[in-house]
Structure 1
């Protein structure tokens, strides 16, 4: 991958980040992530399709609910919207090519600042998309997915497609139209609809049934328009339970799968799962991945983690090796991600103001995922992990247990079986053994 720099070099002290192996003490090198190493039949690069998130990495200002911006960028001083966008993109592609990140993803307003004039926005997006296309061709970096930000502007304080004001719904549709064209023009492999503010703060003033139907209609319209204009990729829904609303209609993976099934959207949509959102929903990340995998809808991962002692989505880079290993066990057993990749929906911390922190964070995240992949593969290949789990269900493999699974029995048959054989002895779940098994491989 060719390193790209614009008129200005933003990360002068950093060259290309390379794989140096576990013996390396270089903080600007990979110790575990070797993109060419084959694991379970695919290279690490193919397993992960790592992507830089444009919003956190180059739009994040370090603010939090109790602190003002602490990260400042040179392009913010540019007077022209387009000039700011181009300089920001120069910085982004320098970073991505030095990190050897093969993909990136964006919301529309991440690429270029929006005004209230939609025609003006469309012209500006077309200009920056042309610039991005040149950068992609020069570097080989590709677009994993695009999206429209339908939650930050105050017009969306009561939702976008679920807003009770049709004018807001229409504006959201116009914004998605522009974002879809940008994604298609840049060869985006997928398109994401995030949860945003599609939910309610109180049911006393909300017609939930009507709002959910509007959301489904909006997704159908967007999907149909994209297909008509040549988009061949997959659409992703990103579950999130709350924050900023009290309740969001895409609460978790199970809720979203049910919603897509209810409104006949299963054929075109899969899930983009976020680690921190699983936590907010009261689940483990592995649980959300497993729900999606079992439904055949494991699409992509937007990885981060939350500070578990806090009550909001803190979007930190992944560092829990146990959590990541369990996640990779599920991904490997599911056969991998369907179209998506691993994007770092994470931001450097409020007080991490050195530009090198962005490199350290991504290197750590990529290394942790690579290490988790290797551990998960060893567990599946060399331990009795699958054997023990399968043995718990051996009574359903033959006889009346198999008849039950194949829907050949009636409730009366269960009565007859119980009268004939009584109950069985209790059997250990072997949970402690299984947890220790994973820990041994860590």
Structure 2
């Protein structure tokens, strides 16, 4: 045990009228929606990196947080794990997620880093055996160290590619050992800053081959979870090859991986790509590659990826509605890829940030579930496309262009526009929110 959260008791559901800030007002894990417990719908996970590895720095200033586990040693790593599972217990979250670098100290060599990871994985495994929280997904940090400054799988140096392969292998092994339900690849530096020194075609080919090798190895070791790519358009690279969901799908198709790999979609990344969160989720579902989400928000005045905790349930309800339409999560979940502000120094701040985020998601899910169950939006959507249910309309899709054109002339087809009823549907949506 640590002393970091010593005065904070486990958070309980007390209902929307509660004045106790250390309570859930909306997240009731046992509430049943659409035949499933709220906890099973949301599958919350705490992100190891923002909650326990980030020290409060930003582009203009360094560390602001003082945590007892910040020593870059195995003792510090184990203390960090102790504190992490204390937070998981306080929140009652069923899952967590981590990068290798979050959980273990960097070694002087790859072999030393691997030994450190294996040791901390054993420690985390013992923690999982005696606590509720289990691993939602593991991943490798291949963007922080200077070796990754020009990318990992897309690096011009083949030795860096080899190091990346060894790193992912070790992290897949760790994820399998801990019973992780997914493995995520986020190519933070898989992109370019200028085309003046970039062979884009070669780099993209190397990224595709790397992912094929990862998938092959996952099959070889019997990993049954999902392999996920996390799209992001930029930052820190000027352009990243996994720009958005549609770009990732084209990439997967090109390398024959569209049946093997899904996506982990982040709210902040969707916004940076010029999309809404719900658009990216709906696109992934339509393409058959929806896997999981990173839940956060951006500061829309800042214009970059600020990774703040969600606090707008109306905004998030649109996202959860699309998740429900997609059939909900299978191996995925709602991972809080969010961090407290660098001025929020106390343990209480870290707890309450998650409490607020969990309550926001619960309100969003409840509104989305009520509307999905009642069905008015789906009825309106189906009515709008009802013409396509007629046999003649279906047959038209199989006909050549000239046959369709002749039918227009022969039957004097002159369609009249019909209202999309957007404002009526927005009013309907607001009624449920």
Short-chain TM bin: over 0.9
Q: Does the alignment pair 1:111 with 2:110?
A: no
Q: Does the alignment pair 1:343 with 2:335?
A: yes
Structure-1 residue corresponding to 2:61? 67
- Report the Cα offset of residue 421 of structure 1: 2.8
SS of the residue corresponding to residue 319 of structure 1 reads: coil
- Distance in 1 between residues matched to 2:117 and 2:106, nearest whole Å: 9
Aligned residues of 2:69 and 2:79 also touching (Cα < 8 A): yes
Structure 2 residue aligned with 1:427, among 407, 418, 422? 418
Q: Does the alignment pair 1:301 with 2:293?
A: yes
- Report the Cα offset of residue 66 of structure 1: 2.1
Structure 2 residue aligned with 1:229, among 210, 221, 228? 221
Superposition pairs of residues 44-83 of structure 1, within 5 angstroms: 44-76=38-70, 78=71, 81-83=73-75
Q: Which runs of 4+ in 1 moved over 6 A?
A: none
Q: Does the alignment pair 1:278 with 2:270?
A: yes
- Report the Cα offset of residue 263 of structure 1: 0.3
Structure-2 residue corresponding to 1:3? none
Aligned residues of 1:279 and 1:285 also touching (Cα < 8 A): yes
- Report the Cα offset of residue 59 of structure 1: 0.7
- Report the Cα offset of residue 13 of structure 1: 1.6
Structure 2 residue aligned with 1:267, among 250, 256, 259? 259
Aligned residues of 1:150 and 1:156 also touching (Cα < 8 A): yes
Aligned residues of 1:191 and 1:234 also touching (Cα < 8 A): yes
- Report the Cα offset of residue 166 of structure 1: 0.5
Superposition CA RMSD, Å: 1.3
- Distance in 1 between residues matched to 2:53 and 2:209, nearest whole Å: 31
Does 413-422 or 241-250 show the bigger shift?
A: 413-422
Structure-2 residue corresponding to 1:325? 317
Structure-2 residue corresponding to 1:15? 9
- Distance in 2 between residues matched to 1:139 and 1:324, nearest whole Å: 29
Structure 1 residue aligned with 2:400, among 401, 404, 410? 410
- Report the Cα offset of residue 227 of structure 1: 2.2
Q: Does the alignment pair 1:210 with 2:210?
A: no
- Distance in 2 between residues matched to 1:225 and 1:12, nearest whole Å: 43
- Distance in 2 between residues matched to 1:47 and 1:17, nearest whole Å: 19
- Report the Cα offset of residue 118 of structure 1: 0.8
Gaps of 5+ in 1: 1-5
Superposition pairs of residues 90-129 of structure 1, within 5 angstroms: 90-129=82-121
- Distance in 1 between residues matched to 2:328 and 2:317, nearest whole Å: 14
Structure-2 residue corresponding to 1:291? 283
- Report the Cα offset of residue 383 of structure 1: 5.1
Aligned residues of 2:107 and 2:116 also touching (Cα < 8 A): no
- Distance in 1 between residues matched to 2:201 and 2:108, nearest whole Å: 30
- Distance in 2 between residues matched to 1:384 and 1:140, nearest whole Å: 38
SS of the residue corresponding to residue 340 of structure 1 reads: coil
- Distance in 2 between residues matched to 1:370 and 1:156, nearest whole Å: 38
- Distance in 1 between residues matched to 2:85 and 2:340, nearest whole Å: 18
- Report the Cα offset of residue 310 of structure 1: 1.3
Aligned residues of 1:298 and 1:338 also touching (Cα < 8 A): no
Structure-1 residue corresponding to 2:129? 137
- Distance in 2 between residues matched to 1:224 and 1:47, nearest whole Å: 31
